[in-house]
Amino acid sequence: MSRDMIVPLESYRLARYVVPIPCYVCEEDNIFDAEYCRHCLAPMALAHQAASQKVQPRMVAAVGATAVGKTVFLGMLIDMLSRQPERVQLMARGAFSITLQQSTMSALARCQFPQKTPNEPDRWNWVHCQLRRSRREAPLDLIVPDMAGEAIFEEVEHPRSYRVISAYLKKCAGAMILVDAVGLQEASSDHEYFAMKLISYLVELNEDGKPGWSRRPVALIFTKADQCEECLADPGAFAKSHASRLWQLCQERFAFHRFFASGVAGACAWRQTRRDGRVHVPLRVEPVGIVEPFLWLLERIEAHRSRSK
């Protein structure tokens, strides 16, 4: 036995699927309720947030080799800026923008480094934040993803293998290139060569005649400098003496660049674990040189924005 029922036809809901939503990174169309872009796997929350405001967010890249310390640096940077409103007032936009800060600080509190960033773009932590240096100035919206070092290496070696990386770097207003200071001090040339590959990759991205990376600000940051006193004392001189080819390439390729030294862990040690074997752990947290390169980059981006008006 069956009963007749009247079911309202809510066809208006189908109309939402007719109007495409462009991804903020690669600008390809997606349906309105997609969580990640079907082309580059960037979070669609960025597109929805950008559509709700008048000023479009700027993009800043943090790139470097695997295990150079990108996750620790970015997580500590966001945490320090959120605690120092007298210098730069930072406000996260969206709950997903707090995940990187939370996971980094939680790991350091347990005397651990954060886990390695997965290669899959849909598992990366993205930060969308609003920055204000004074109440008189207009706020600046920034987007910064924590991209996996192995994915960056694959994209540099085989361009277009990670569409989200190439699309993102083309639209960036500036970049922070992280280089392992300890590796350079130990005369390991791999770190210098990879940084040089990154620079060549960036310069060759823009092929349409528009102003490319040669005119964008680039901060070259030597990480783990807390274990290298020479680097902390004078990052520029350290680059000249331990990475002369990288220093010379920056002079030729970038009109606006500067070398910095940073560190998060004041002291580190090795610990034997049953699961992972011998692992490197921080004994204490003493951040140094974290905010300075970002503020320099921010000033350059704001200066370029003022000139373009």
What's the domain count of the chain? 2
CA distances from 58 to 50, 65, 84 (A): 10, 24, 21
Tell me if 229 is assigned to some domain: yes
Least confident of 28-32, 76-80, 135-139: 135-139
Residue 7 lies in a domain: no
pLDDT band at 11 (very low <50, low <70, confident <90, very high): low
Which pLDDT belongs to residue 244?
95
pLDDT of residue 99: 95
Residue 15 — very low, low, confident or very high, per pLDDT cuts 50/70/90? low
Answer yes or no: is 42 within a domain. yes
Mean pLDDT of 209-225: 88
Q: Looking at the structure, tell me whether residues 218 and 179 fall in a common domain.
A: yes
146-195: per-residue pLDDT in tens?
Answer: 999 999 999 999 999 999 999 999 999 999 999 999 999 887 889 999 99
pLDDT tens-digit series, residues 250-281: 999 999 999 999 999 888 888 887 777 888 78
Query: CB atoms < 10 A from the CB of 109, how many?
Result: 9
Residue 53 and residue 141 in contact, taking contact as beta carbons nearer than 8 Å: yes
- Asked if 104 and 47 sit in the same domain, the reply is no
Instruction: Please state, in angstroms and rounded to a whole number, the distance separating the CA atoms of residues 232 and 221.
Output: 11
Instruction: Pull the structure tokens for residue 125.
Output: 């932590």
CB contact burial 166-203 (16+ within 10 A = b; e otherwise) = bbbbbebbbbbbbbbbbbbbeeeeebbebbbebbebbe
* Residues 261 and 295 occupy one common structural domain: yes
| Average pLDDT of the segment spanning 23-49 | 93
In a domain, 204, yes or no: yes
More confidently predicted of 306 and 113: 113
Mean pLDDT of 286-294: 94
Looking at the fold, whether 90 and 199 belong to one and the same domain comes out as: yes
Residues 38 and 106 grouped into a single domain: no
The verdict on 135 and 257 lying in the same domain is: yes
In a domain, 108, yes or no: yes
Same domain, yes or no, for 91 and 30?
A: no
Confidence tier at 3 by pLDDT (50, 70, 90): low
- Domain with 226, as residue range(s), is 56-308
Q: What is the CATH number of the domain that holds 66?
A: 3.40.50.300
Residue 286 above 80 pLDDT? yes
User: Rounded CA gap, 43 and 297, in Å?
Assistant: 25
Are 18 and 154 found together in one domain? Answer: no
**Count of Cβ atoms closer than 10 Å to residue 86 Cβ:** 5
Same domain as 84, residue 27: no
Does residue 1 sit within a domain?
Answer: no
* Residue 34 and residue 139 in one domain: no
More confident residue, 297 or 209: 297
Do 301 and 220 lie in one domain? The reply is: yes
Residue 196 CA: distances (Å) to CA of 60, 145, 159, 243, 252:
19, 21, 15, 10, 12
Would you state the pLDDT for residue 108? Answer: 93
Residues 138 and 209 in one domain: yes
How far is it, in rounded angstroms, from Cα 127 to Cα 143?
6
Residue 4 domain flag: no
For residue 303, being part of any structural domain is answered with: yes
